[in-house]
Every structure is written in C-alpha cells, then in structure tokens.
Amino acid sequence: MHDDTSFASLPDPPDGTPADAAVPSGGSEGRTEYVQQTLVDLDIPGDGSNLHPDTGTPLSQVTFVVVDLETTGGSPADSHITEIGAVKVRGGEVIEEFHTLVDPQVPVPPFIRLLTGITDEMLIGAPRIDEVLPAFLEFARGAVLVAHNAPFDIGFLRAATRACGGTWPAPVVVDTVTLSRRLVTRDEVPNHKLGTLAELFGTTITPDHRALHDARATVDVLHGLLARCGGTGPLSAQTLEDLQVLASRVHPVQRRKRHLGRGLPSAPGVYLFTGLRGQVLYVGTSTDIRRRVSSYFTAAEQRTRMTEMLTAAEHVVPVVCATRLEAQVRELRLIAEHDPPYNRRSRKPWSKSWVKVTVEPFPRLSIVTRVKDDGARYAGPFPRRQAAVEAISAVHEVLPLRQCTTRLARISAAASACLLAEIGRCGAPCRGRQSVEEYDPVATRARRLFAGEDRTLIEGLRARMLAYAAEERYEEAGAVRERAAALVDGLGRAQRLAPLAAAPEIVAAKRRDGGGWEVVSIRHGRLAGTTLTPPGADPVPFISAMRASAEVVSPPVPPCPATHPEETEILHRWLTGDGVRLVDLVGTWSCPVAGADGAESLSRAPGRTSRPAGVPVRSLE
C-alpha cells in the first residue's frame, strides 16, 4: 500500500521472498484465533446461521480476499505492479494466501525502492503480469475483494486485466479506509492510514509496504472494524449488504432508514413506501422486492427527492405478484389510486390529453381529456399537453384544416377571414368561400390519417423535413421532425389501444423458463386475470378456472381502454413479445395496414409490430 508516507525506518522485506509464481499457503494460528474471537464479539454463530437470514448474506458466510499491491508509481496509466499479496478468509478463518513478485518490465524508481525495499535484482526471473493475473483472478473468484484504499489496488488490477485482453469480473469491493472513517473517530486516531489502524487494533503483523505483510495486517484491521459494527444501530452490519452500505458514501438518512429493507420477500412484485400515518409516498416495482428496496439505502441512490422521501418514510409494504407483468400492472393501478407525491410518471392518468377530429360540418382538430362516443377519430393519449399541440401543428403544416375554434354553420358569409385564409393555409369556410362538400376531402384525409388508413400526410412531413435539411436549414428541419414525431407517437398509441379496447377478451400464454405457462386474460385492454400452470400439467383446467374467476370488465369507448392506457400499452408489448401464443380470441384484434407505427423514421422509438388479424389460435403443446 502507499497510504503512509513515513519511511524513516523501513523493515526488511519478508524473509525468503520468492521471485517466481504465486505461492498459496495456510494462515498462522495466531491470526486464526484473533478472527475467531472477532466473530464471537460479533455474535455470529460458527455454524453459518444468521440473526437476519432474510435480509442478505451473513458475514460469517462471506469469503473475503484481502489484497494489497506494490507498484512502480501511483497511477495505472504509467506505472506497473511489482508485487501482489492476498489473504482469503471466511467465517473468521484464514483459508489461503497468495503471494508473488511481478516483473514490471521497467526499472523500479529509486523512491519506490526506498519505500518498499523491492529492487530490480529481486525482480529478475519474476513472472510477468499476464502470467500472474489469471492465477490471482482464479484465487479471488466469487469472493468479496477488500483493500485499504481500494481505488488504488482495484484500479491497477482492472487496468492490468484490460491490458492483458481480459474482462474485469467486477466483484463486490469493500474499502477499509472508507469503513474506518465510519467507525473510528478522530479522538482515537489522527488519520486512517494502514499503519495507524494497525497500531490501534494491535495487528499481529506490522505493515511495511510489502504486499503480503500489508494484506495480513489489513485482515486484522478488517476484523477489528467488523467487531465495531456488531449489535444494532445505524453503524451496525450483520450482512454483506449492511457492510456495503456502511462502507459507501451514503446519506445519513439512508443509513438510518436501511432497516426498512429487512424482512421483505425476495420475489417479484410492488413495494410501497408509506409515511407515519400510512399515506403512500412512493410506489415501485421489481423482479426482486428485497434487493430493489435495499438499493435505496446505498450510495448508488443519489436522487434528492428519494432522500426526501426516505426522510418521511416509516414503512415499506410489499405486494408479491406471481409474474413481472402482474407487478407492472399493479404498480400503475396503485400510482393512479394513491397519487404518491414522489412518483413522477404515471400520475393522474385520466388527465392526459387526446386530439380528435371533431364531428361537425367543418371538422377541426381539438385537444380533449376524455374520449366520447361521438363518432370522432382520436389520437393519443399524449404524455403532456404540449405534445398534443405539436401533433396538431404537424397536421396543419401539410393539411389545410381550419384552425379557428368557433363552431361554424354551413355558410357564414358575415364572418371575417383570418390570416391563414389570406396566405392560402385555409379555405376560409368561415367566409363561405368553401362549402361543406368542398371541405369534406380535407376532413376525410384527416380522418383517414387518424384511422390508420392513409400515411401520405406523414410522408409529406418527412419530405418537408428532408427538404429543409438539404437547404441546410437544420433548425427548421429539427422542428418539423419534433412535431411529426409527436403526431406519430399519438397516432400509433391510439391505433394500438383501439383494437385491444374493443376486444371482449384475449387469452394468451407464454412458456415459463422453469416449465409450465404464464397465462393472462385481457378484457377490453385491461388485465382481468392471470395464472401460472405447473410444469407438465394440462393447462386447460387452469385456464378455464382463471377465466371463470377473472374480473368482469364493462366495454369502454375505444380507443380509450377500460383502464389506464399505459396498462394497455404494457399488455400490448407483452402480447406481441417473443414466445407468446394466443389461446382464445373473443372478437377481433387487428392493426391498421397504413398505421403510424410503420413510420419508424419519424418516431422517437422504434416502431412496434402488432399481431395481424387472422393469426391462428395455437394450442399449448
């Protein structure tokens, strides 16, 4: 290690240091007794049992590889490893040691020779790093790496792995420097250097800037630190996950509230953070509730609003679901029901904007928040009102629909024409310059666009965008693209929702990895029921029971489904995913041939494919 700049009296290098490949050996009896006593202090049973078996990996069952390097300098960019020392410990026992010198293939600088005692002569005949590294990685496979000032040692190991053409395995890393700053106060030590901590904890070996000696000293320091975080309280750690939190740069609120993650199931589902009076603060979903909730109390969670949420949180309520699909749907419904203040997406689903082609003698485009059974064509819902405004602007750019909001009679000669009429962007039906019959072809093109029967208007927008780009008018081309993308997104969403909203029931199944089937019933775009069939069992009885007990769903007004539109979008993605089979279809399910999803070049996201009408119903074989 290079954390101690005092080298007035350097000890001699370890006796009999070999200049060849790694040498594993057993640990000393004195160190074994020390770490065993540490586990007694921690009240960790020797049989590997754990006080909190459902909250993570007990420290007594974790294999640690404590590693230390000596190098030719301070940066892996221009320096090389000269020595690797490592000690493998588990359950308080030293299992094995690893030690080797390494030929850096460059001279050792005088300062490093003075600091470590490693000379060029000692490195003659030593293996190169590409010969040593595979053996060390195999030695440390599956273990948690521990180092004093871990960024230094791990940085060199990662760089060496990359230089040798390998892939760094990215193990869990614990830094005893960070850990000591959490557990050792300034009243006890002036700094957190390895030599200082070794003196505090009375290690059985004194660190001397030789890799194996320093690794052995770090083992004793590690166990001394672990002894301090036994028991309860914000600085306690009884599992590896607790230790990671303690050794990371987490907010005090995260450390204080991490007990909320204990006792949660390791299963797919939804979790709700609730406040003192039971109010729902935040809703999330995960394939593993326990792991996901635990991540809120680590340094990886840096969102300010999540820290605020944790400050107010008092409980975490898990809702276990049979499948990931069910968990996603439940999350949306709970967000819609409780409107949690710390959720940003999926809130207030019924206030989203739609764009419709109005039903009147001179139709126009209008932004509404509710789909009515009025015979109008709809696009949306849009994620925000401004997106709906952009979609309308895109249509107006290539189609001379009237833009005034006044409801017009068949002829209104007394009305005054607007600027759009003067510049030829509108036929001025308000002045009687355009009859209903003359205006109808314009309105029909808009209705066909919304119905997915004609995509020529979208192609017109694309042509306009390319023309601007060819003239190097890039800002104008970008503006056209953004408006067109908003239109395509809204049209595509409505054209996906409408068939599912109209279908009385779709029963589909997907084979599970472990055997059996995941079966769902979708009624009018809403998840009405789901079941899992056991491997090897006949799925038909299970499907019949699911359908008999599924939710009764009243028909909605398409394209709006009988639920949150985002729920129907999730179901659509599942239905059109790989490996899904249709079991039964009541009604029809089809997609428009000239729908907006085909205009991929203008969409923000890749186009989605829909299962076409007439797809055969396949048996579950």
- Measured over the CA atoms of residue 348, residue 351, residue 355 and residue 359, the dihedral's sign is positive
> Residue 71: its pLDDT value, please?
96
Lowest mean pLDDT among 194-203, 259-268, 526-535, 599-608: 599-608
- Stretch (H or E) spanning 200: helix 194-201
% of the chain surpassing 90 pLDDT: 61
Tens of pLDDT, residues 118-164: 999 999 999 999 999 999 999 999 999 999 999 999 999 999 999 99
Distance from the Cα of residue 378 to its chain's centroid: 33
- Measured over the CA atoms of residue 374, residue 375, residue 381 and residue 384, the dihedral's sign is negative
- Measured over the CA atoms of residue 380, residue 384, residue 389 and residue 393, the dihedral's sign is negative
> Residue 181: its pLDDT value, please?
86
Which strands make up the sheet holding 353-357, listed edge to edge?
365-368, 353-357, 377-382
Residue 263 has pLDDT above 50, yes or no: yes
> Residue 594: its pLDDT value, please?
82
Lowest mean pLDDT among 8-12, 355-359, 431-435: 8-12
SS3 assignment, position 55? coil
CB 429 within 8 A of CB 409: no
Could you give the count of Cα atoms lying within 13 Å of 296 in the half-sphere of its Cβ? 30
CB 524 within 8 A of CB 501: yes
Tens of pLDDT, residues 361-393: 889 899 999 999 999 999 999 989 999 999 999
Tokens 């040692």 belong to residue: 153
Across-strand partners of 531? 519
CB 67 within 8 A of CB 146: yes
* Helix residue ranges, H only, 93-149: 110-116, 129-139
> Residue 86: its pLDDT value, please?
97
Given the residues 2, 148, 209, 564, the one annotated as active site: 209
Please state the length of the chain: 621
Residue 36's pLDDT band (cuts 50, 70, 90): very low
CB 359 within 8 A of CB 450: no
Residue 47 has pLDDT above 80, yes or no: no
Cis peptide bond prior to 381, omega within 30° of 0 = yes
> Is 524 assigned a catalytic role?
no
Tens of pLDDT, residues 477-508: 999 999 999 999 999 999 999 999 999 999 99
In the predicted model, what is the mean pLDDT of the chain? 83
Residue 79 has pLDDT above 60, yes or no: yes
Residue 232's pLDDT band (cuts 50, 70, 90): low
What beta strand segments (E) does 122-211 contain? 144-147, 173-175
- Phi first, then psi, for residue 353 (nearest 5°) are -90, 140
Task: Name which residue leads in pLDDT, 5 or 235.
Answer: 235
CB 214 within 8 A of CB 66: no
> Residue 601: its pLDDT value, please?
55
